[in-house]
Amino acid sequence: MIDYKFNEDVLLDEIRQYIDNTYKGHYSKTTYQSTEVIMGRGHGEGFCMGNIDKYSNRYGKKGDEDDWRKDLIKIVHYGILALYNHDITYGDNENENQ
């Protein structure tokens, strides 16, 4: 067992729960999520990086501390999506659909 010094295990569990909830939410009510369409059209990198920029620039400026924390979670989520898009774009498909 790893003795995580910065609660990485707890935070990763929270990120997974957040991502799981996005699949239950309004973003996935149709056959395809908008992110799938955007990536399918070849715009995934810009979309993901743009959202990372959006939420990082908004951090600390909109809402309260809870909202700021949610912005950080969204940054991590879009970072994961950017990694997926990178792997698809540049041929590292080892982790695809696992």
Q: What is the pTM of this model?
A: 0.86
Can you say whether the dihedral through the CA atoms of 49, 71, 36, 12 is positive or negative?
positive
Rounded to the nearest angstrom, the gap between the alpha carbon of residue 17 and the centroid of all alpha carbons in its chain is 12
Question: Which are the contacts of 25, defined by CB distance < 8 A and separation ≥ 6?
Answer: none
pLDDT (0 to 100) of residue 29: 62
Residue 4 exposure: Cα atoms within 13 Å on the Cβ side: 7
pLDDT in tens, the chain (98 residues): 999 999 999 999 999 999 999 888 765 566 788 899 999 999 999 999 999 999 999 999 999 999 999 999 999 999 999 999 999 999 876 655 54
